[in-house]
Amino acid sequence: MNTLQITDMQNYSTLLTLFDQYHDFALSTHINPDGDAIGSELGLYHFLTELGKSVKIFNTDAVPESYRFLPCWDNIEDVHSISTYRPEVLIVLDASTLARIGKRLSKALLPTHELVNIDHHATAEAFGDVNLIMPSASSTSEIIYKLIKCHQGPIGKACALCLYTGIMFDTGCFRHSNTTVETHRIAAELIEIGEFAPDEVYRNVYEQLPVAKIRLSGEVLRTLQVTDDGKIASVYATQGMLRKTGTTPDAVEGIVNQIQAIAGVEVALCASEMTARSTKISLRSQGHVDVSQLAAEFEGGGHARAAGCRIAMPYPAAVRTLVQTAQRYIDQSSSEHGDCQKD
């Protein structure tokens, strides 16, 4: 695996030199963008714009409704507005692989003078000319915060709100194991600078749900299966359920976290039918199993406790395959941890 761990100041400096050297920047992130994807790219957008740079953001997928309170979200464009435009520098955020920004987008934007890759996924590939990959960071937004600090700021109000939102999202509202004392300190500083109310940010992101999404959760949760040992919980969402409830695939996000909360469950998975032969899988772990490794077996990736992949199988086969593979990981981790095995 082509993973680089970069934690020293020198790599920030390399990147900061590019900020001095070039004027035209384009930013992008992964398909189905989440809070950290949107937060980190908008945070960097505000910082570079305030430095007087020309900055454009291009994403394959639309900004989810819940992030449309972030300043300048509507400046995010899609592949159709690229035409003959070419940036000097393309900065890819939170994407793990270049392919995950979307084929059409990378074809339209590249080559550039410099390709920069900023990420915190342990499974991230070093596809850039400059790679800032920090698996120890809670989020890509946290890396952007540190980058701006190395530049000696300033972090503007809009930037602070975007970075806070990204950190809040990727730490599961400061409750996942990637939350450190430092994460809380950074969050506190961002609240002070941004002068926003954290409870309002929470409400914007998590409590503006359309009724349809709750109805979809109901449909999906009804498919719950738990293995005999109680350690693997799985659900699936079909195209039929999306049609019935009038929802889109992004409405499936978050359902996996609900089944992860079942007592005794080690691995939770949610399968979403994308097409008749393609299934998106979301994986969560309570800590014993590294689900980024599990996802990597199917060309996916992510973090030890939250990962995903896409499999070229109909959803029932994908669920069976994933449950079997997860079982193997659980058996391995039980023998490594010396758990008592039932005969």
# residues contacting Mn ion (CB under 5 A): 5
Buried b (16+ CB within 10 A) or exposed e, 138-177: bbbbbbbbbbbeebeeebbebbbbbbbbbbbbbbeeeeee
Q: Which is nearer to ligand 5GP, 3 or 81 (CB)?
A: 3
Q: Of 155 and 252, which has the nearer Cβ to ligand 5GP? A: 252
Could you say which residues in the range 259-288 bind Mn ion, by CB under 5 A?
none
Cβ atoms within 10 Å of 129's Cβ, excluding its own = 15
Q: Which stretch binds Mn ion (CB under 5 A): 131-139, 148-156, 258-266, 330-338?
A: 131-139
In the bound state with ligand 5GP, the residue whose beta carbon lies nearer, of 293 and 334, is 293
Q: Which residue, 147 or 313, has its beta carbon nearer to Mn ion? A: 147
- Up-side HSE of residue 183: CA atoms within 13 Å toward CB? 22
112: partner contacted, choices Mn ion, ligand 5GP, none (Cβ within 5-8 A by kind): none
CA distances (Å), origin 207, targets 62, 66, 211, 214, 339: 20, 9, 11, 11, 40
- Nearest residue to Mn ion by CB is 36
Residue type, 67: Y
Minimum Å distance from CB 43 to Mn ion? 12
Matching residue, tokens 């994407």: 95
Site for Mn ion in 74-103 (CB under 5 A): 94
Helices (H), the chain: 9-21, 35-50, 103-109, 140-150, 157-170, 181-194, 198-206, 211-221, 239-245, 255-260, 291-296, 315-336
Residue 142 binding Mn ion, by CB under 5 A? no
CA 104 to chain CA mean position, Å: 20
The binder of 41, among ligand 5GP, Mn ion, none, by C-beta within 5 to 8 A per type, is none
- For residue 310, the minimal CB distance to ligand 5GP (Å) is 5
DSSP codes joined into one string, 64-115? PGGGTTSTTGGGEE-GGGTTT---SEEEEES-SSGGGG-HHHHHHH---SEE
Between residues 164 and 298, which has the closer beta carbon with respect to ligand 5GP?
298
Contacted by 309, from Mn ion, ligand 5GP, none: CB < 5 to 8 Å by type: ligand 5GP
Nearest-10 crossing angle of helices 198-206, 157-170: 60
Which listed option, ligand 5GP, Mn ion, none, makes contact with residue 129 (CB within 5 to 8 Å by class)? none
Is 119 a binder of Mn ion (CB under 5 A)? no
Return the number of the residue (61 or 253) whose C-beta is nearest ligand 5GP: 253
CB nearer to ligand 5GP: give 66 or 97. 97
Q: What is the largest CA-CA distance in the chain?
A: 67
Interface contacts to ligand 5GP, rule CB under 6 A: 96-97, 123, 253, 282, 300-303, 306-310
- Return the range that interacts with Mn ion (CB under 5 A); candidates 50-58, 122-130, 166-174, 257-265: 166-174
Residue 290 near Mn ion by CB under 5 A: no
What is the closest distance, in whole angstroms, from the C-beta atom of residue 47 to ligand 5GP in the complex?
23
How far apart are CB 232 and ligand 5GP at their closest, in Å? 16
Sole residue written with tokens 């430095």:
51
- Say how far residue 264 (Cα) sits from the centre of its chain: 26
CA distance 217 to 258: 10
Q: Closer to ligand 5GP at the Cβ: 56 or 121?
A: 121
Q: Which residues bind Mn ion (CB under 5 A)?
A: 36, 94, 139-140, 170
